[in-house]
Structure 1
């Protein structure tokens, strides 16, 4: 028995919807001027004919449209580049990473998770998520397991969906994460029938699905995802194992809002919805974005551009002043027209009074301000295609300082939880190999390796290089200075910061074995060389008498080399 009735869930959804009315006004302005084809916040679409495909009629200057697209695409490439593995797994206790077989297992786990994400639609839906973050400051990404009723025999991986912000509502937990998630779906009767069992659908919906007149009518179907409390004495479920849907800790229901009919029920092992924010607004669960910062300038530049069009129209086709007695009829300004007038001397054009140079200068200043809000200057390359190494380092440093805090929040809010959920899904599907003995209960950590994360590690890499280079230079005059440097640890740390594959670095046991083998080979080679040298000397002096003479000479040489005793 669920702790919530359908009416209670709908009431909670309505409360979430009502609480954000203020920020929806800001979102609607951003939709009109930055994302003109994402749909109006306040207009419902009862059918396809109600959707207005001329939503860009309010955009008179597209600076913000292009700047937002550029920033979202850049963030996508800097954090979760589709062509690079942007994370790796490791044990929280760093000593466990050196256990035999641990690094190979971690590398395998990282690769399995990465390939699962690559085989899904994460790259396309992740791009939509970044657009929402740049524009609205908040986005909602949902990860679904394609297994049906826990059957992983024909498992097809995971799939993602970036929920349009106008349809997504959530309750926050004490850490700012998602405690409950609601989605408003506007579905036709045909869509409802294709989604749910016929016996669970009301008779009115079944009739509309068969009627040509009402087949396009849409109905509000609310998806409610919430945490189900444990009953007294009930143990916390083991989410690493497959279990019936009604026993899972996260429950979901599809409810027809009009009559509170439950159309479908089920359960999740983990909360499938993630709500990243660009930056957090104090006192609110919603985030703010570059588009919100630039919104006053965006409104102003669009208003000025619209006024400029009107002023330009007056300048190109000005009003005409004509004395009343100088014309016989209304003037015709069409091509090839013939007008009968008494005289053309008194026909003058009305002055527009517009200062187009000042207008262009003001618009340019506003455009620069908008592009700065979206970090366009830092994202664009200089006019020359050539970029020196120093310029590239400066650019990376700027990106690190500007986008580093945002990247950290996005990784914490969405990508860390996504990787953890994917790992658990793969575990239940039997796609994760057993860890090495003794590490079954070890805690895992996720390190992010995207270009921006690597740029943030560049300072540490440079520091290691400078220390090692300085020690090698001092060793020319002070050889003992090298004793300060642990070259093994320096190499391991540098490889970790560069996100080098763990399999290319030998563990401590392997390194010790290689060094022992090398030392043994060197000792054997030294002994062989000494024996060869002795044989040559014996051959040169000839016979036993020569050996005795050579031995006597060597003893005398050793005695002379020792010098007088003090």
Structure 2
């Protein structure tokens, strides 16, 4: 039995909705001025036809619109580039990574997870998530397992959905993660009937589904996802195995808000909702974003651009001053018009008094400020046809310093949990091979390999290179200096930082075997060379007497520590 009644779940949802009323006003301004095609954030639309896609007159300057799109696309490519594998699995205990077969298994696991994510709609929904982060500072991404009732025979992978922020509500745990998730769905009676079994739907909804007059009536259906507490003495469930929905640690309910009717129930093995934040202040549930920082300038530049249009209209088509008795009818300013006047000398245009140069200068300053808030200067390439290696390093360093904290938060809030959940789903589906013997209970860790993560690792790689190069230079005068460097470990660490495939680096056992084989071959070659040298010497002296003489010389040389004399 659930620890919450339907009424309690709805009360918790309404409390979450009430607690964010203030920030919703900020989100609505951002929607109007930065994402104009998302519609009014908190207006209720019965369908798509209710949105006027042509009505964008809140936007008179599109600097913020373009800057937000550029930043969201850039951060998408820098963290989770769709064309590169942007993570790898490893054992938390680094020594276990050197166990025979461990690295190959980790490489296989990483590739299986990556291909599962690539086969899903993660790239499209992830792009929507990055847009929300750039604009609203907070987003909600949900990962669903396509298996029906735990049946993985016809499994179709996983699917993702970026929930519109206007529909998503959540409670945070002590670490800032999602403890409970609520989604407000506005569904018609027909949609409700198509989603749930008819016997669970109230009679009023069934009647509306059959009535033509009620087709457009929408109802609030709240999805509630929450952690189900364990009963006293109950064992923690093993989420690596398939289990009935009602025994899973995460439970969900679809509840009709109007009368608290439970329309559907089920369970998850892990929390499916993730709530990344762009940046977050301590103690705050909601994140803040570049759009929030630039919002005052965005409002100002749009107001000035609107005012400038009005002033330009007056300058182009100014008001006319005419003496009262100098015209016989209203002036007609259309092409080819004929106007009868007493005299044109007293007909003058009203001066506009506008200083357009000052206006343009102020707007340009505001545009630069907005672009700086969205890091546009760092994202844009030079106008020159080529960028030097030094310039590229400086640009990467800037990106690392500016977006590094955000990338770390996004990886912690969403991509780490997504990879862990995907791994568990694949385990239950039987798609993950058994780990090497003795590593069944070893803890896995995730390393991120996106371009931004690689840039953050470049300092360590450069440090390794500088130390090794310096040691080699000093070795010319002080050969013992090379004893300070563990070249094997330096090479392994460099390969790890460069995210080189694990299969190209031999484990310690194989390295030792190769070195023993090489040493043995060198010893055999040395012995063969000595035998060859002895044969040539015998041939050169010739005859038994020469052999006896050579043997005597060799014995003398061994006693005196020098070679034979010829």
Please classify the TM superposition score into its range, dividing by the shorter chain length: over 0.9
Q: How does 1:277-426 map to 2 (within 5 A)?
A: 277-426=277-426
CA distance in 1, matches of 2:360, 2:339: 37
Shift of 1:555: 4.5
Shift of 1:319: 0.3
Query: Aligned in 2, Cα 1:549/1:199: closer, same or farther, shift over 3 Å?
Result: same
Indicate conservation of the 8 Å contact 1:145/1:425, yes or no. yes
Shift of 1:260: 1.3
Query: Aligned in 2, Cα 1:508/1:123: closer, same or farther, shift over 3 Å?
Result: same
Q: Which moved more, 1:548-557 or 1:292-301?
A: 548-557
Q: Which moved more, 1:430-439 or 1:190-199?
A: 190-199
Aligned equivalent of 1:142: 142
CA distance in 2, matches of 1:103, 1:49: 54
Shift of 1:227: 0.7
- Aligned to 1:325, what secondary structure does the other structure show? coil
Shift of 1:212: 2.6
Shift of 1:537: 1.4
Query: Aligned in 2, Cα 1:513/1:255: closer, same or farther, shift over 3 Å?
Result: same
- Could you give the per-residue CA deviations for residues 380-407 of structure 1, whole angstroms, max 9, x where no partner exists? 0010120111111110000000000000
CA distance in 2, matches of 1:249, 1:182: 17
Q: Which segments of 5 or more consecutive residues in structure 2 lack a partner in the other structure?
A: none
Indicate conservation of the 8 Å contact 1:48/1:216, yes or no. no
Indicate conservation of the 8 Å contact 1:133/1:289, yes or no. yes
Q: Which moved more, 1:509-518 or 1:334-343?
A: 334-343
Aligned equivalent of 1:267: 267
- Could you give the per-residue CA deviations for residues 346-378 of structure 1, whole angstroms, max 9, x where no partner exists? 000000000001000000000000000000000
Aligned equivalent of 1:217: 217
Shift of 1:564: 17
- Could you give the per-residue CA deviations for residues 133-191 of structure 1, whole angstroms, max 9, x where no partner exists? 00000000000000000000000000000000000000011111101000011112222
User: Alignment length, in residue pairs?
Assistant: 566
Q: Which moved more, 1:405-414 or 1:257-266?
A: 257-266
Shift of 1:80: 0.4
- Could you give the per-residue CA deviations for residues 80-125 of structure 1, whole angstroms, max 9, x where no partner exists? 0011110111111111111111111111111110010000000000
Indicate conservation of the 8 Å contact 1:47/1:218, yes or no. no
Q: Which moved more, 1:61-70 or 1:46-55?
A: 46-55
Indicate conservation of the 8 Å contact 1:171/1:179, yes or no. yes
- Aligned to 2:154, what secondary structure does the other structure show? coil
Shift of 1:557: 5.2
TM-score normalised to structure 1 length: 0.98
Shift of 1:55: 4.6
Q: Which moved more, 1:131-140 or 1:182-191?
A: 182-191
Shift of 1:565: 20
Question: CA RMSD for the aligned pairs?
Answer: 2.0
Q: Which segments of 5 or more consecutive residues in structure 1 lack a partner in the other structure?
A: none
Shift of 1:558: 5.7
- Aligned to 1:117, what secondary structure does the other structure show? helix
Query: Aligned in 2, Cα 1:318/1:151: closer, same or farther, shift over 3 Å?
Result: same
Indicate conservation of the 8 Å contact 1:278/1:409, yes or no. yes
Q: Which moved more, 1:538-547 or 1:290-299?
A: 538-547
- Aligned to 1:287, what secondary structure does the other structure show? coil
Indicate conservation of the 8 Å contact 1:32/1:55, yes or no. no
- Could you give the per-residue CA deviations for residues 450-491 of structure 1, whole angstroms, max 9, x where no partner exists? 000000000000000000011111111111111111100000
Q: Which moved more, 1:62-71 or 1:543-552?
A: 543-552
CA distance in 1, matches of 2:505, 2:557: 49
Q: Which moved more, 1:304-313 or 1:472-481?
A: 472-481
Aligned equivalent of 1:474: 474
CA distance in 1, matches of 2:53, 2:564: 106
- Could you give the per-residue CA deviations for residues 302-325 of structure 1, whole angstroms, max 9, x where no partner exists? 000000000000000000000001
Q: Which moved more, 1:460-469 or 1:184-193?
A: 184-193
- Aligned to 1:556, what secondary structure does the other structure show? helix
Q: Which moved more, 1:377-386 or 1:40-49?
A: 40-49
TM-score normalised to structure 2 length: 0.98
Query: Aligned in 2, Cα 1:216/1:522: closer, same or farther, shift over 3 Å?
Result: same
Shift of 1:33: 0.2
Indicate conservation of the 8 Å contact 2:553/2:564, yes or no. no
CA distance in 2, matches of 1:19, 1:64: 28
- Could you give the per-residue CA deviations for residues 194-222 of structure 1, whole angstroms, max 9, x where no partner exists? 11112212222222223333223222111
Shift of 1:544: 1.1
Query: Aligned in 2, Cα 1:125/1:48: closer, same or farther, shift over 3 Å?
Result: closer
Q: Which moved more, 1:540-549 or 1:168-177?
A: 540-549
- Could you give the per-residue CA deviations for residues 385-444 of structure 1, whole angstroms, max 9, x where no partner exists? 201111111100000000000000000000000000001101111111111111111111
